[in-house]
Structure 1
Amino acid sequence: MAVSAGSNETSYLLPPNREAWEERGVPDFVYGPKELTREGVQWPGTPPGPPDTRPPPSPFDSALCSAWRQRMELGLFRYRLGELQTRTLPGPVGFVAQLNVERGVQRRRPQNIRSVRQAFDPQEFNFNKIRPGEILFRLCRRDPDPPGGPQDVDVLVMINVSPLERGHVLLVPEPARGLPQRLLPCALRAGLEAVLLSLHPGFRVGFNSLGGLASVNHLHLHGYYLAHRLPVEGAPSEPLDPGGRVHLLWAVPAPGFLYYARGPGPCLEALIGRVCRATDYLTDHKIAHNVFVTRGAPPGEASFSPTLTGVRVILWPRKASFGVKEGEAFNVALCELAGHLPVKTAQDFSGLTEAAALALIQDCLLPPAQAAENLKDGAKPLQNQ
């Protein structure tokens, strides 16, 4: 069943029982370029509320949040996620720490990943093996532009059964193809457009490479709502190439590449190509990495404005890490590098300091000289574009 992004009807996402999922099949959420929000997204002046009430939700937000809540009521998650204890750590960085004990205890054990370039193994757990009810809808981009534009790719939006926060989903492009966890333009485009379909400033999308704490070797991105600002939204940066197409984001826990687009169109398509060329370079050289997509300010000086004028994509090269480190307050992947720290125990949550968080993060980064070399080499292909 196909429903337009402009429709206010979301009941199509709410089958009455488990059997109805098999009968109806996966519903479609169909959208085009006109549904991508270019401007007007901002943090409210008062502390933001739940993602489905403030600011007013878009059709995408309504569809995702209503279907996600229903799956929670039906018990399809590994645990029932309530309101998470949250605090901002004192200090200049502005880390947002959240206590999520259940995720630390009950999430699925990561696969046995041995290489950043490991092939897809259909015998291992993958997203073709999930329960039908875990799929919320199919994200269908329908572009009326003439041939030569981006190819339409259907992306399944499914729950993460061990959620970080409310609305935590996975974006999985054409899972039947058995693609390994290597960032492709179709996947990054889906993530960027999901952010642009949302009117909530705290809806973010990210990608963990193999060795960058991806726990499943099957191409996917994470998307979730966090009703708090993060350091990477307005952190300062400096250009790495003469055309200003890629910047160095430096005043956050980890230095990384910063890419920016004001909205959909040729600028966004160029950004997708640049990011994927950089991640291809890192993957080919067996360098783990994490990617984070958020509404944010243009590159340059630090910005503290509540208005988010475009989309920032941050790419971090990092040390390869395979498996979960036991005994640490948190594991370092895409959200931790952005300043969101899901903490595993009450003791660590109450005692965590900015200095301790920075030490954990910096232990996962490449040595400064190697990081600088990778940043420089990764920018080279962009300089003549």
Structure 2
Amino acid sequence: MLTIKRVPTVVSNFQETSETAGCGRNCLGQCCLPVSTLPLYTFTNAGKEQENVKGKCPSVPDEDSPIDFLNTLVLGQWEDRQSKGLFRYDVTACESKVIEGEQGFIAQLNEGRHLKKRPTEFRVDQVLQPFDPKKFNFTKIGQEEVLFRFEESSNGTSRYFDGALVGASTKSNVVTINVSPIEYGHVLLIPRVLDCFPQKIDAESFFLAVKMAEEGGSPYFRLGYNSLGAFATINHLHFQAYYLSLPFPVEKAPTRRLTCAKGGVHVSTLMNYPVRGLVFEGGSDLRSLSDFVSNACIFLQENNIPFNVLISDSGKRIFLFPQCYAEKQALGEVSQELLDTQVNPAVWEISGHMVLKRRKDYVDASEDYAWKLLAEVSLSEARFKEVQTEIFEATGLVEEESNEEEKLPEMAMASSSSFKPTPPSCVVWQ
């Protein structure tokens, strides 16, 4: 059995007792959340026939207002929580730079995340593990960490409600801050938080994440997913997201088309990149793309293959990375040099945003180092081909006879090698 050392369960830093309904802690548990009033954002599902049922849900007030989802709601509310001191460190003060080289890997020195992030409590050789209410989970965080609820609209229009009673019958998808952030605007999307799903992809939750990427409306706002065994640290279903106004190296990597699935979803494989992965894009609508990728993820988790997912380009481009770093780490197959960096390569590192924990590693960061680390994450060429074939068989795909390599259009990058976070209205890094 491969394990990471178990540690005591840690709860939120902000659960002081107060005179409120429920247990008095203003938590997201069954005691507090259903009797709470929280901001609500409803999104449209253009691929689904809707009825105008306004007024049928007493928990939603009649008044609503237009709102900029990314700039005002996500990032504006994130900055509000920052001003209230809810984060464990100031991520905006972290040094960052673009590493010189062809790939354009991004390095960040984040010593606070190393010292204050919640440790992993789970086996690394088992992708699917039952939810354990005794371990830390998101029902234990404080309501002040919640930015808003994210629900499908009941009347076919995107709307924002400053305050709406949660009630017992809602799905209660919530967007919260990540108290140990990697980057500006780092948030978590937690589908149906009170249902306490383990970290396991399902079609509806995955579509929820794709819709959030679409609502963001910016190529610089991405969502990511880590399975257990691929450096998810909490076994409670969640996706991560943050804003970074640079293209990730993986987004610029060339691809080779493999096939076109039913519904027009194009499947390609990454070329000239240290981590082997599949790229999904196109399709008749976001639902067809989302469903196809979620089926591939479901196959991986049911066959105990750890993986990471990057949802890019406002939901229209999705990267899937089967990986094996934690397995190699537990088996003693990773060099001491890489282990000493204490970098756990999850979705953001794999995508090219290297979060480094020691100043020495940051100062010495090079493209060779980034490539060497990520190459250890990747499945071997033979194993990746096996997994790819198994995914195709499980989803009814046939690989096309083509060796065509296509180079993706490059996004503009700042020439400076050192920069600071800027508001999303300005995408130039200084």
TM-score, structure 2 normalization? 0.70
SS at match of 2:301: helix
Q: 1:245 to 1:25 in 2, by over 3 A?
A: same
1:88-140 Cα distance to aligned partner (Å, 9 max, x none): 11221111111111111111111223411111111110000111111111011
Partner Cα separation in structure 2 for residue 261 and residue 102 of structure 1:
39
Equivalent in 164, 179, 183 of residue 165 of structure 1: 183
Question: For 1:131 and 1:167, how far apart are their aligned partners in 2?
Answer: 18
SS at the partner of 1:161?
coil
Contact 1:168 1:222 in 2 (8 A): yes
Counterparts of 1:72 and 1:166, CA distance in 2: 10
What amino acid sits opposite 1:234 in the alignment? K
1:359: which partner in 2?
372
Which one-letter code corresponds to 2:388 in the other structure? L
2-side partners of 1:218 and 1:113: how far apart?
Answer: 14
Q: Indicate how the Cα distance of structure 1 residues 118 and 33 shifts in structure 2: closer, same or farther if over 3 A, else same.
A: closer
Q: 1:383 aligns with which of 367, 383, 397?
A: 397
* Higher mean C-alpha displacement, 330-339 vs 317-326: 317-326
For 1:20-35, what aligned pairs fall within 5 Å after superposition? Answer: 25-33=37-45
Output aligned runs, 1:44-55, within 5 Å: none
Alignment of structure 1 residues 297-316 onto 2, 5 Å: 311-316=316-321
Gaps of 5+ in 1: 1-17, 35-56, 146-151, 297-309
Give deviations 1:324-352, integer Å, cap 9, x for gaps: 98622622110111111111111100101
Q: Say if 2:105 and 2:352, in contact at 8 Å, map to a contact too.
A: yes
Whole-Å separation in 1 of the counterparts to 2:325 and 2:201:
16
Q: 2:103 is matched with which residue: 93, 100, 114?
A: 93
Aligned equivalent of 1:205: 223
1:25-79 deviations in whole A, cap 9, x for unaligned? 2211122247xxxxxxxxxxxxxxxxxxxxxx93343111121111112121111
Contact 1:58 1:199 in 2 (8 A): no
Within 5 Å, give how 1:149-188 maps onto structure 2: 154-188=172-206
**Cα displacement string for residues 167-211 of structure 1 (whole angstroms, at most 9, x for unaligned residues):** 100000011111110112222212211121123331110000000
C-alpha displacement at 1:156, in angstroms? Answer: 0.4
2:143 is the alignment partner of 1:122: no
Q: Does the C-alpha gap of structure 1 residues 81 and 156 become closer, same or farther in structure 2, counting only changes over 3 Å?
A: same
Matching residue of 1:226 = 244
**Matches of 2:249 and 2:196, distance apart in 1:** 35
The answer to whether the aligner puts 1:281 opposite 2:299 as a matched pair is yes
Alignment size in residue pairs: 324
SS of 1:26's partner is strand
RMSD: 2.6
Q: Structure 1 residues 63, 334: CA separation in 2 closer, same or farther (over 3 Å shift)?
A: same
The equivalent residue for 2:276 is 255
List per-residue Cα deviations over 1:225-269 (Å, max 9, x = no partner): 11211122232222222556321122322121111137xxx4211
SS of residue paired to 1:316: strand
Alignment of 1:26-105 (within 5 A): 26-33=38-45, 58-105=68-115
What percent identity do the matched residue pairs reach? 30
State the distance in 2 between where 1:358 and 1:124 align: 35
Alignment partners' CA distance in 2, 1:230 and 1:216: 25
Separation in 2 of the partners of 1:278 and 1:348? 35
- Taking a change above 3 Å as real, the CA distance of residues 313 and 242 of structure 1, as seen in their structure-2 partners, is closer
Bigger Rg, structure 1 or 2: 2
Structure 2: distance between partners of 1:357 and 1:190: 32
**CA 1:326 to 1:320, structure 2 compared with 1: closer, same or farther past 3 Å?**
closer
The reply on whether 1:141 has 2:152 as its aligned counterpart is yes
Q: Is the 8 A contact 2:188 2:239 kept in 1?
A: yes
Cα distance in 2, alignment partners of residues 268 and 154 from structure 1: 22
